Amino acid sequence: MKRVAQVIRVRPEKLDEYRELHRNVPQPVLDTLRRCHIANYSIHLLGDRLFSYFEYHGDDLAADLARMAADEHTREWWERTDPCQQPVEEAAPGDWWTPMEQVFLME
- Name the phi and psi angles at 97, rounded to 5: -75, 130
Residues of the chain where predicted confidence (pLDDT) is lower than 50: none
- Which of these CATH numbers, 3.40.50.300, 3.10.290.10, 3.10.300.10, 3.30.70.1090, describes 2-99? 3.30.70.1090
**Distance from C-alpha of 72 to C-alpha of 86, rounded to nearest angstrom:** 22
Q: Where are the domains of the chain?
A: 2-99
pLDDT of 44-68, one tens digit each? 999 999 999 999 999 999 999 999 9
Its pTM stands at: 0.92
Nearest to 7 by CA among 48, 61, 37, 38: 48
**Distance from C-alpha of 98 to C-alpha of 107, rounded to nearest angstrom:** 24
Per cent of the chain over pLDDT 90 is 100
**Distance from C-alpha of 26 to C-alpha of 73, rounded to nearest angstrom:** 8
Q: Are 12 and 64 in contact (CB under 8 A)?
A: no
